[in-house]
Amino acid sequence: MKSLFVIGALLLLLASVGAPLAKAQSEAVAAIEFNLPAGALGDALNLFSRRAGVTLSYEERLVQGLNTQALQGSYTPEAALQRLLQNTSLQAIAVGDGSWLIRSASTNANNLVLGAVRVGGGLAGSESVYARASGVARVDRADIDRSGPRHASEILQATAGVFTVTNEQNPSVSVNIRGLKDFGRINMNIDGMRQNYQRSGHGQRNGEMFFDTEFLNGVEILKGAYAGQGGAAASGGVATFRTLESQDILREADDEFGGRLRLSDGVPEWDNGQNLSGSLALAARPTDNTDVLFAYSNKNSDEYQPGTHGSAVYWGQFDGRPGYEAITNIVNGTGQDMESWLAKARWMATDSLELKLTALGSSASYGESQSINIDQVQRQYFKQLYCNPPANYLVNNPNHPDWDTYCNWEYDPENAHPISNTNETKNQSYALDLHYTPGGDWLDLSGKLYSVSTQNTSITSANTYSFTTQTDTLGALLANTSRLFVGDHSITLNYGVEWFRDENKPEANSQTLTGNEIDLLTGTTPHGERSVLGSWLRADWSYKAFTLSPAVRWEQYNLQGTTGFRDMYRNQILWQFAEIPVDRTESKWLPSLGAAFDAIKSQQHHLQLFANASLGWRPPAITETLTAAAIPGHLPPMNTYPNWLLEPEQTRNAEAGVNWRFGTDNRQLNIKLAQFYNRTEDYILYATGARKPGHEISSLQIQAFYVNALNDLIFEGQELQLDFILDSYYGSLNVTHTGRNTDAVFYYEGKATPYLYYHPWAVGGPNGESPADYCPDAYYQYATGCYSFSTLYDPQVPEWTGKLTLGKRWLQNKLDTGATLTCASQTGDSYFTEMVDFTGAKQGIRDYCVTDLYTSYQLLDSLRLGVNLKNLTDREYIQAMGDDMVKSYAPGRTLTANLQWFF
């Protein structure tokens, strides 16, 4: 029988705590959920006052040059202030009517004389987004809890400017920002530790990260090339996933020990495969200057049923008739087991020096399909077409050779996603952080050393071979912030150096494959090393209402490995390509410029205009350069060849926007509106129309290379972020409009197309001819040169995505109820950039809207109960940018219950 853990847990808690809980409930001051980033103390105090709805008074000079730790979790205003002011020699004094005075701890209250006083008032919402003069998006812990995620990618669904390429069978997350993703274009990191794992395959995810949402405090998205920590070689942006700190568990300043228990389970008859899952976090403060944290999480689920209403896919047309449809009762391979752990230790060695150790790990088991069972889908279509009246071509001809194939065959709705391989994935990340703030304006130093290893072992269902891919990353970072104040002028300098190195370590084992076949298999994600070194200098000069932010970065990469045309060792024509040592080093200067103007700035009204432009750079990845591969048993045979001539991509990012914040206390509206444009030159794509030197067209084998496109890839669009609070009501709206194009339209059969095109002989001719000059086949000859345009996984994004959240708090803010509506327009098929097939019929993932409901009740200050109802209307759909080969349908209607208990 399904576990009714909520009832049992409540009885256990009430029995163990008893009467003291009732007393604590009556005496407790209402706690508030905070999610304030670490940073300048003055900024943190302003955000705190607005979130808590209190007034703070303090002299500006007291907080200049001071920093504070992140504040995330539920705190009373007093406890939150104590946390923010730790190790600052400042204290907060209550002066009545919800107001506080910040002063030096050594000041005698009777002799206090205030100079210029800064006053902060109450304003709710994720204000840090609307205070940044750039494209920024945040997902906080409250957002995560309200979404009730089954798959980790759900926490980013319809975030402004952000997409995820999701296969529901695979727990990994691949982040797309404003159209760019894969191979390091986005720096996906956990607490600053880059997650650079990559494996090749049908998954359209050439860059994956694994994490447990139970350990997250929030996610911050920086859009576009960034001159700062984590910006090296990331042309599309930075996605930082923040994890728990001990302060999130030790909620009061004088707590020496504490814990947090979280549980969730599917409600019987509505669970849709959701099993009992949860996490336990323990924290302690052994001394006044040390604290430790340990957390463990377990997630378990069975295969689920998709929605039963609507259709998830546009199947195009066949023989001029409406396309076929896949009937699915169960989404195979979506059952998962995942264990995760997190450990942190922090030591305040002195008042100005903080050291922190972090260890994070996970282990996941899951199955995968190479594609949806298209053969079965087609058979079902033919059966409906030819075996049922009035289209009875075969029904009256039982002796026809195709009669058994179609008419005497039954569709299996529980085999729509046949499992091709099972996976075991392990991830381990370790870091040492340093933060040194001796006081004053010139030194605010932070450093990090880290190591990340992600390993996936995949075993084919037929047990013909196992294939292990592993990416090991080492990284180091050193950054400082200096500040200068002269009258109304202020200058903030941020500068530093960053280095990281990736190494791929593939391995294959088989008792049936030959040695050459094993070499070609491991060549899909080949062995090699790539390192990136970068430095930056960014200045923020502010004068009254105007801010100018010039910056410059210098970056260098080195890529090493050995590759070659391994299937051509005996071919005398191509003998010189049998083994090729690669050792490439290049560097680049990358400027950027930003500007902001505060058109209106008052206590209750802030209108800011901003614009930014930057040049990004993304060196070729190990796989793109060194791959020499073939998948055993692939039909038709498909070989991928190396390209040691690849040039780094250059991306020009531009954005302009407005931040508008209006209101205070419990009535407030925040809006961020942005127009963006990014243009990538030498975009590296996977070309299935490329050829080996001297090799002409073959209908028996697909040849593929990674190549530089000859035309530029362009993404442009608009983003809207809005949130409001109106007394007990609140809400948010995220909308993204994205257009994809190329700078030079390619004409195919007289029709203008937005395809990326390239030189078909990617590495030139057998005698050293360049790719631009070598064209031995007239098939590729066009009026302006020699071109091909056939690609796989050409980047597609939905034109529109949006998410609306509306909620209300009841019973003195203890009861929180709300609904979210998530919508996306069609996502084109990876083969058809215009989202139609050659007949003009729509092709790809259908548009959809899905409604979710959530409710939580703060029974006690330490105990919260909740319920999430996902996919209220039981809609059949696939997440926007979902895997369009596997076509793993999202879960149907699912009801889960959850609790969170601090002790």
Residue 458 and residue 422 in contact, taking contact as beta carbons nearer than 8 Å: yes
Q: What is the percent of the chain with per-residue pLDDT over 70, rounded to a whole number?
A: 84
Please state which of the ranges 84-88, 362-366, 718-722, 781-785 shows the lowest mean pLDDT.
781-785
Which residue did the predictor score with more confidence, 107 or 226? 226
Q: What pLDDT sits at residue 671?
A: 97
Lowest mean pLDDT, pick from 27-41, 120-134, 455-469: 120-134
The pLDDT value given to residue 464: 87
Lowest mean pLDDT among 101-115, 670-684, 791-805: 101-115
- % residues pLDDT > 90 (the chain): 55
Q: Indicate if the pLDDT at residue 324 is higher than 70.
A: no
Lowest mean pLDDT segment, chosen from 378-387, 440-449, 757-766, 887-896: 378-387
SS3 readout for 257-298: EEEEEEEEEECCCCCCCECCEEEEEEEEEEECCEEEEEEEEE
User: Is it the case that residue 425 has pLDDT exceeding 80?
Assistant: yes
Fold designation for 5-106:
Phage tail protein beta-alpha-beta fold (3.55.50)
What integer is the mean pLDDT of 335-363?
96
Q: Domain locations in the chain? A: 5-106, 246-275+290-373+415-902
* The pLDDT of residue 722 is above 60: yes
Contacts of 606 (CB under 8 A, 6+ apart): 598, 600, 659, 660, 661, 662
Between CA 510 and CA 201 the distance in angstroms is: 19
Beta strands, E only, 544-688: 546-563, 580-601, 605-618, 629-630, 638-641, 649-664, 667-681, 684-687
Mean pLDDT of 223-247: 95
More confident residue, 98 or 255: 255
Q: Give the C-alpha distances (Å, rounded to integers) separating 339 from 277, 342, 363, 443.
A: 10, 11, 5, 40
* Top-confidence range, 416-420, 680-684, 782-786: 680-684
pLDDT mean over 163-190: 95
pLDDT at 272 over 80: yes
Q: Residue 479 has what pLDDT?
A: 97
Question: With 90 as the cut, is the pLDDT of residue 318 above it?
Answer: no
pLDDT value at 703 more than 70:
yes
CATH of domain 246-275+290-373+415-902: 2.40.170.20
Q: Phi and psi at residue 577, in whole multiples of 5°?
A: -100, 5
> Considering the chain, what is the average pLDDT of its residues?
85
Range with top average pLDDT, 324-338, 695-709, 829-843:
324-338
State residue 754's pLDDT score.
Answer: 75
The predicted pLDDT at position 16 comes to 38
Q: Work out the end-to-end distance of the chain between its first and last CA atoms, rounded to an integer number of angstroms.
A: 29
Of all helices (H) and strands (E), which one includes residue 77? helix 77-84
Q: How far is CA 433 from the centre of its chain?
A: 23
Choose the weakest-confidence range: 408-417, 557-566, 794-803: 408-417
Instruction: Flag whether pLDDT at 733 surpasses 80.
Output: yes
d(C-alpha 32, C-alpha 135), whole Å? 27
Give the per-residue pLDDT at 202.
62
Highest averaged pLDDT of the listed ranges 173-177, 565-569, 688-692, 830-834: 173-177
Higher pLDDT, residue 485 or 622 = 622
pLDDT at 632: 79
Whether 46 shows a pLDDT value over 60: the answer reads yes
pLDDT at 466: 93
Q: pLDDT tens digits for 839-865? A: 566 777 899 999 999 999 999 989 999
Query: Using an 8 Å Cβ cutoff, are 706 and 682 in contact?
Result: no
Identify the pLDDT of residue 874: 98
DSSP 637-659: -EEEE--TTPPPEEEEEEEEEEE
Environment class of residue 769 by beta-carbon count within 10 Å: exposed (0-12), middle (13-18) or buried (19+)? middle
Angle at 25 between CA 20 and CA 30, to 5 degrees: 145
Most confident of 30-34, 419-423, 637-641, 881-885: 419-423
Is residue 350 pLDDT above 70, yes or no? Answer: yes
**What does the pLDDT look like over 255-264, one tens digit per residue?**
899 999 999 9
Q: Are 362 and 426 in contact (CB under 8 A)?
A: yes
Helix (H, G, I), strand (E, B) or coil at 313: strand
pLDDT given at position 8? 44
Render pLDDT for 770-817 as a digit per residue (tens, 0 to 9). Answer: 999 898 888 788 777 888 888 776 768 899 999 999 999 999 989 999
69 — pLDDT class (breaks 50, 70, 90)? confident
Q: DSSP assignment of 334-358, as one string?
A: --EEEEEEEEEEEEE-SSSEEEEEE
Q: Is the peptide bond prior to 77 cis by the omega test (within 30 degrees of 0)?
A: no
Asked whether 169 and 333 are in contact (CB, 8 A), the reply is yes
pLDDT at 7 exceeding the cut of 70: no
Is it the case that residue 342 has pLDDT exceeding 70? Answer: yes
- What pLDDT is stored for residue 497 in this prediction? 98
Contacts of 622 (CB under 8 A, 6+ apart): 198, 502, 504, 526, 528, 529, 530, 559, 561
Highest mean pLDDT among 195-209, 351-365, 664-678, 742-756: 351-365
- How many residues are there in the chain? 903
Mean pLDDT, rounded, for 211-239: 95
pLDDT for 109 beyond 60: no
590 or 511, which is more confident? 590
pLDDT at 509: 92
